[in-house]
Amino acid sequence: MKSPAVTGYCRSTKQFVRLKLKSHNDYRKPHYCPGSEEPMLAIYDGGQVAEIPCPQCGNLTLHYKRRLMFD
């Protein structure tokens, strides 16, 4: 199994952050941005990305695209 991690968006630094977790039980708990120590918006579903403003222009133009790699 992959090590547990969560991806989120930090509103104060305007960056996407990926946090490694100690266990899978911590997945749905509140997470904080390591750069600013403020709560980050965790992304659990691809549809949530549309609610995040673009870090460059500030508009709601982001889209989620899932890519899979096969051998």
Please write the tens of the pLDDT for every residue from 1-43. 578 999 999 988 888 999 999 998 998 899 999 988 899 999 9
Q: Identify whether 68 is part of a domain.
A: no
Could you tell me the CA-to-CA distances from 18 to 38, 59, 70, 71 in Å, in that order?
A: 14, 22, 23, 25
Could you report the per-residue pLDDT of 35-71, keeping only the tens digit for each?
888 999 999 888 898 889 888 888 998 888 878 878 7
Could you tell me the CA-to-CA distances from 15 to 2, 7, 52 in Å, in that order?
A: 24, 11, 11
pTM given for the model: 0.76
Q: Tell me the CA end-to-end span of the chain in Å, nearest whole number.
A: 18
Which range of residues forms the domain containing residue 28?
A: 5-45
Q: Identify whether 11 is part of a domain.
A: yes
User: Number of structural domains, the chain?
Assistant: 1
Identify whether the C-beta of residue 16 lies closer than 8 Å to the C-beta of residue 8: yes
Q: Identify whether 57 is part of a domain.
A: no
Q: Identify whether 27 is part of a domain.
A: yes
DSSP-assigned letter for residue 60: S
Q: Identify whether 26 is part of a domain.
A: yes
